[in-house]
Amino acid sequence: MKNSLLKTDEIGVFALGGLGEVGKNLYVLEISNQIFLLDCGIMFPDAHLLGIDYVLPDFTYLEENKERIVGLFITHGHEDHIGGIPYLLRKVNIPKIYASGFAVSLIKAKLGEFTDIKMPKIENYESHSKYYFKDVEVSFVRLNHSIPDMHGIAFKTPLGYIFHTGDFKIDLTPVGPGAEYHKLTKMGEEGMLLVLSDSTNAERDETIQSERAIGESINDLFYNIKGRIIIATFASNIYRMQQIIDASILSNRQVAVIGRSMENAIEIGLQSGYIKAPKDIFVKPEDINRIPPERLTILSTGSQGEPLAALSRIAAGSHRFIKAIPGDTVIFSSSPIPGNQEPINRTINALFRIGADVITHGPLADTHTSGHGNQFDLKLLLSLTKPKFFIPVHGEHRMLKFHRDLAISVGVDPQNILIMDNGDVAAVSKDKIRLAGRVQADDVYVDGTGIGDISNNIIRERKMLSDDGMFAVIITVDNQNRKIIGDPTIISRGFIYMKGNEALTDALANDTKEFVTNVFNNKNLISESEFKTKLSDYLTDKIYDITQRKPMIIPVIRNFNTTDL
């Protein structure tokens, strides 16, 4: 069915993820009653999403309009752009996935982990590829990022070009192939209707270094370090892993790969040709202790301080094969994802306690560079493409607003720029862009094997439990004689330690007994749920008066019969 928010001559543009956040990118174009999907990623939870493994986009709108979906187009292979694909395929049949090079290998490997999903058709596009649909020509522009085969995606429509940049930066000395800036200029000359552009670094005006410069810096570090090197980076940063292997070869070191995601990435890289290394350079983790420290590089996961990642276990002394020792040098070849600085600091402090030296990116050593363009890069892209309309995407709200100001500074009409949230639908015609309404675009939580069964109420309950714990009171009642039997049993978890707080628990038990007695003495009938609610409210007030804390109250009633009250 046609989107009722759009007029006949309008193109619909909206996001189910990626606006007001960094992650779970999923953008939707509706052109001539066809739905084109751009990327389908996940977002990793921050500290307040207790127990959550991943956050997914809400696929409800796509389920309701699945017959109009013509394809899923992937810009590159990072998790925040492809991690949601298996979950999407469980809900919706996608006619074909369009991806390029390394992203194809990563998608196939990811889908291979989900035995309940039939492998879809995957079209491996090149930068010169073109695909034709009703009133739409889809083409691609090679750009530079921190992973191979990153492409912006262009949709040539009767109204002009719509261009989605994906993640990019301007890198004049890239490790891989150079960007196709001439295509951007050509589209601008032919008529760029709308650009959707990466806003991650819209606040940064400092120079973003080239990936090649980081490789040279890593070579210098390896040459000057005499002991064992443990280096952590993102498992998806194939360019960085190649640079680490090259530096190890130059410094006459063998490489041990630690961490499942890193091992998988290396294997995919070697099989697909994106990583080139002699076979004898790799050493198995169990053989690490046979290699002299000055001849060994350990390539590890855990650059973000993840508790179960290899580097965190090394720092904690719990890794099966590796013990950090004085004289080790640990290099963080990554930048902290917002919210991860605290666990990273914990890992760094633990390594220093052991006696290892730790090097992070900073004024003294260039160990990492961003894959996202700075203000100059963003303005240059807008200057080359000359869009009539502009929607900043892929960023938190402040980043989107900074990007809007950059667009205005290079001549985009402020009236032609929309700052949107997930679910907001932009309607684009030849001469106008407007907010047409909203579609459903909530967060969907993955918790173990459960998908979407965790609500915001449960997250709030988990937060309450983590802050003030749980207080349970178990009551046995005689329904016939309307009286409480014995004393209530008190159980506390994460609230107070029972041993040593007998006076408090006894007082609360007596208060509970008094409350129940008053209920039985009252002739008014109440239901079980109302009884529990009143008891919870009563104990909440009592506990707060004494402790200034509000644990979760769980009343348990044995032999309770609501008809007898």
pLDDT-derived band at 342 (thresholds 50, 70, 90) equals confident
Q: Kindly state the helix (H) or strand (E) to which residue 15 belongs, with its residue range.
A: strand 11-17
Angle at CA 46, nearest 5°, toward 45 and 49? 70
Task: Return the pLDDT at 6.
Answer: 93
Query: Which residues partner with 360 through β-bridges?
Result: 332
Nearest alpha carbon to residue 534 among 555, 506, 550, 563: 555
The topology (CATH level 3) of 11-206+370-446 is: Metallo-beta-lactamase; Chain A (3.60.15)
pLDDT-derived band at 362 (thresholds 50, 70, 90) equals low
Task: Return the pLDDT at 222.
Answer: 92
More confident residue, 213 or 73: 73
Residue 125's SS3 state is coil
Task: Return the pLDDT at 65.
Answer: 96
Can you tell me the distance from the alpha carbon of 6 to that of 85, in angstroms, rounded to the nearest whole number? 27
Choose, from 80, 198, 328, 377, the residue flagged as catalytic: 198
Q: Cα dist. 376→170, 201, 205, 392, 556 in Å?
A: 9, 10, 7, 15, 62
Can you tell me the distance from the alpha carbon of 393 to that of 305, in angstroms, rounded to the nearest whole number? 28
Return phi, psi of residue 50, to 5°: -70, 130
pLDDT tens digits, one per residue of 115-172: 888 889 999 999 999 999 999 999 999 999 989 999 999 999 999 999 999 999 999 9
Can you tell me the distance from the alpha carbon of 520 to that of 504, in angstroms, rounded to the nearest whole number? 25
More confident residue, 141 or 474: 141
Task: Return the pLDDT at 533.
Answer: 84
Task: Return the pLDDT at 132.
Answer: 97
Residue percentage of the chain with pLDDT more than 90: 54
Q: Where are the domains of the chain?
A: 11-206+370-446, 211-360, 456-564
CATH class of segment(s) 456-564: alpha beta
Lowest-pLDDT range, 311-315, 368-372, 459-463?
A: 459-463
- Kindly provide the b/e burial profile for residues 157-185, where b requires at least 16 CB atoms within 10 angstroms of the residue's own CB: bebbbbbbbbbbbbbeebbbeebbbebbe
Task: Return the pLDDT at 193.
Answer: 98
Contact 36, 71 (CB under 8 A): yes
pLDDT tens digits, one per residue of 158-212: 999 999 999 999 999 998 899 999 999 999 999 999 999 999 999 999 888 888 8
The mean of the pLDDT values for the chain is: 87
Active site residue 372: yes
Task: Return the pLDDT at 428.
Answer: 97
The topology (CATH level 3) of 211-360 is: Rossmann fold (3.40.50)
Locate 561 and state its tokens.
């019969």
Q: What is the mean pLDDT of residues 208-235?
A: 89
How many residues can be counted in the chain?
565
More confident residue, 527 or 403: 403
| Residue 565 reports pLDDT greater than 60 | no
Q: Checking DSSP bridges between strand 450-451 and strand 444-447, what pairing results, if any?
A: antiparallel
| Residue 421 reports pLDDT greater than 90 | yes
Choose, from 372, 424, 443, 447, the residue flagged as catalytic: 372
Residue whose token pair is 């350079």:
281
Q: What is the mean pLDDT of residues 409-432?
A: 96
| Residue 545 reports pLDDT greater than 50 | yes
Distance of alpha carbon 453 from the chain centroid: 19
DSSP string computed for 227-283 = S-EEEE--TT-HHHHHHHHHHHHHTT-EEEEESHHHHHHHHHHHHHTSS---GGGB-
Task: Return the pLDDT at 455.
Answer: 58
Q: Is the dihedral of CA 240, 174, 102, 133 positive or negative?
A: positive
Count of H-run helices and E-run strands, the chain: 15, 25
pLDDT tens digits, one per residue of 490-518: 887 777 666 667 777 888 888 888 887 78
Can you tell me the distance from the alpha carbon of 227 to that of 129, in angstroms, rounded to the nearest whole number? 48
Task: Return the pLDDT at 473.
Answer: 84
Q: Checking DSSP bridges between strand 97-99 and strand 69-73, what pairing results, if any?
A: parallel
Can you tell me the distance from the alpha carbon of 471 to that of 496, in angstroms, rounded to the nearest whole number? 9
Residue 546's SS3 state is helix
DSSP for residue 159: T
Distance of alpha carbon 477 from the chain centroid: 50
Residue percentage of the chain with pLDDT more than 70: 90
Task: Return the pLDDT at 154.
Answer: 98
pLDDT tens digits, one per residue of 374-413: 999 999 999 999 999 999 999 999 999 999 999 999 999 9
Q: What is the mean pLDDT of residues 10-16?
A: 97
Locate 290 and state its tokens.
């046979």
Active site residue 128: no
